Structure 1
Amino acid sequence: MSNFTLDDVRERTYKARDAWWTVLLVDPLAARLVRFTANRTNVTPNQLTVGSLILGLGAAASFAAASWQYLLLGALLYHLSFTLDCMDGKIARLKGTGSVFGAWLDYIFDRVRVLICAIALMGGQYAATGNVAYIWAAVAVVFLDMLRYMDALEIYKVRSQMRAQLRKLQEEAELLELAHRRANGEEATAIDPVDRILRPDPEADMEDQVIGDQPTPAAILQEGFYQKFPWYIRIRNVLTRGRIRPHLVSGIEFQMGVFIVAPLAAAAVAGAIIPVAALAGAGMMAFELFIIYKFWLSSRDYGRSLIKLERKVADLRAEVAQQQLTAADSV
């Protein structure tokens, strides 16, 4: 058996930034369960993923019963389901046993859990009250969850493509400048690829880093946003010190609002599910619109920077080509 400590779990499995619900209400318990599971059992990440879904189905069955006692039980089971969902990734990172299939399974089971729990929670309330608003609430919950994760995946993909293209042009410009200086007899040293990653201040956010005399692609894509909202950096840094990301109402908080807070509220006050779920949905959409606006600004920064870098590379290519022709003529 292994002998992982709690510090090992925290250092190897905690994300640099995570949802505040996870950081404050899940990680303290999950870290201890991960240490026990990793040291005393042979449970795999995929088994935890399946266990998470099973608990999610238990939560759905409880929600369908609709009584206040079962709403409380459903909220508890959903929280435990999410805790297991966090544990599978932590075990994978701690033991190095993650897999592409495991990542796929985790994502699909998360969406299945939301779908089934939304139908069960709102369907149970509809069966108990006959209020058709609960049917529309179920549709809204599933739609918002789908929209959030589709948007997040697409923005991540496009941002990665933009960063890769800017990085490619920066590196090409650097190599051309190096060749140009050496042709002029100047001393010039290329930035080591490893140093490119390690050189920045490790305390700085990736969006603020500078390599040599130029900002990273991540920083370039945030220039317009930070110019408009300089106060955001201070807030982000305060939250980051506690590992909390600025996206305060993300898909995670939305889920917890619908499947934990709303049932708990409804157990105390009849009819509280729809207002609480609506509040959670409104909070998530407000932050999603903010993220989309930020992404739009990034796309403008990308377009401007791409044109500048392409012109710079073209000019450097011409200069290096001219130097090569001059050197050939002199020979």
Structure 2
Amino acid sequence: MDIPPLAEVRRRTEKKRDAWWTVLLVDPVATPLVRWTAKWTRVTPNQITWAALVLGLGAAACFAQGGWLWLVAGAIVYHCSFILDCMDGKLARLTGNGSEFGAWLDYVFDRIRVLVCAIALMGGQYHRTGDVSYIWLALAVVFLDMLRYIDALQIYKVRQGMRTKLQQAAAEVAEVTQAPAPRVAAAARITAEAKDEALEAGEEETAAGPRAEEPAAPALGVVTQQSFVRRFTRYNRIRDFLIAHRIRTHLVSGIEFQMAVFIIAPLVGAIMGVTIVAGIGLVLFELAIIYKLMLSTRDFERAMDSYRRTIAEATPEPVTVSASVDG
């Protein structure tokens, strides 16, 4: 196949919004490598996924040794593993060779890599120091990684459900009121930020897809982020700045947490301190996402109530005819 110039490869393969670690430290390396791989090799996305896992296991083997030089080596190998992990999806998008099985494989291997590296890193430190706190830290890392992705999946399902119900209600309003359907449908869309939040970061492809660019119609006032924006007036300004640089507003997501634990902590030789700080940051951002979801569901219920009232007012009452019989 003809491989387009690098600028076109970036447009096709890089996500519109991604983790800041990926945007700043991975994409500048991964995207050119993807172009080179597609042009000069027959390597498939699944093969890259397997290679990422092998490097992840290599990083774990380094972490298990416990010494600082081994930790540095493990951090470097882990980062290379993550670059490959980002390349498989990009290569699939560029060549069209992606598959549902490949997406599943990528997800499962990511979780295996985190599990094995957490056990190896903290186990190595426990063996070196005898401090049982590292065992609990390993459990905390695995738990937080699991919690992050389970929570993200459920939030995505909830938002998808709200979006579907709003679209159906908008279509019914358009039918009974003869309002222009496109305008009503636009009003029913959950904003782009809400969709991206579902699996913040596109850390998983489950949340990928075209995002709604149109603003909600102010006449109907159906925007499920209204309550959040009213409470945090500077949010949109910060969000727009980050979006302009392709960075998600979820600044401490699963990716940043992993990079802090498996790259920054080993490099600076502060495994416990960095891991605890990263864990607290992840939990705080998860709570913020949950809080925003709670406000969104309230806006959703108000929007649905508005639709129901509109439909009830536009639907004519059935006429009751009473018949009398003369005796």
Q: Distance in 1 between matches of 2:284 and 2:181?
A: 44
Alignment CA distance shift 1:249-1:177 (3 Å): same
The 10-residue stretch of structure 1 (1-10 or 128-137) with the greater mean CA deviation from structure 2: 1-10
Alignment CA distance shift 1:93-1:196 (3 Å): farther
Identify which of 175, 179, 182 aligns with 1:191: 182
What is the match of residue 230 of structure 1?
A: 233
Q: Does residue 316 of structure 1 match 2:314? A: yes
- Which stretches in structure 2 are left out of the alignment for 5+ residues? 193-210, 320-327
What is the match of residue 329 of structure 1?
A: none
Q: Distance in 1 between matches of 2:311 and 2:187?
A: 20
Residues 121-154 of structure 1 show CA distances to partners (whole Å, capped at 9, x for unaligned) of: 0001111111111100000000111111111110
Alignment CA distance shift 1:138-1:190 (3 Å): closer
Q: Deviation at 1:213?
A: 4.8
Alignment CA distance shift 1:232-1:100 (3 Å): same
Paired AA for residue 271 in structure 2: I
Paired AA for residue 295 in structure 1: L
Q: How many residues of Structure 1 are paired with residues of Structure 2 in the alignment?
A: 301
Residues 75-124 of structure 1 show CA distances to partners (whole Å, capped at 9, x for unaligned) of: 01110111111111111111122211111111111001000000000001
TM-score with structure 2 setting the length: 0.86
Paired AA for residue 285 in structure 1: V
Q: Distance in 2 between matches of 1:137 and 1:189?
A: 56
Q: Distance in 2 between matches of 1:208 and 1:245?
A: 19
Q: Deviation at 1:63?
A: 0.3
TM-score with structure 1 setting the length: 0.85
Identify which of 246, 263, 284 aligns with 1:243: 246
Q: CA RMSD in A?
A: 2.6
Q: Distance in 1 between matches of 2:298 and 2:184?
A: 28
Paired AA for residue 228 in structure 2: F
1:17 alignment partner, SS class: coil
Q: Deviation at 1:190?
A: 4.4
Paired AA for residue 102 in structure 1: G
Q: Distance in 2 between matches of 1:317 and 1:44?
A: 57
What is the match of residue 323 of structure 2?
A: none
What is the match of residue 209 of structure 1?
A: 215
Q: Distance in 2 between matches of 1:263 and 1:309?
A: 54
Matches for 1:1-331 after TM superposition, within 5 Å: 1-178=1-178, 190-191=181-182, 206=212, 209-210=215-216, 213-214=219-220, 220-266=223-269, 272-318=270-316
- Which stretches in structure 1 are left out of the alignment for 5+ residues? 179-187, 267-271, 323-331
1:191 alignment partner, SS class: helix
CA contact (8 A) 1:19 1:245 kept: yes
The 10-residue stretch of structure 1 (169-178 or 131-140) with the greater mean CA deviation from structure 2: 169-178
Q: Distance in 1 between matches of 2:276 and 2:127?
A: 20
Identity %: 56
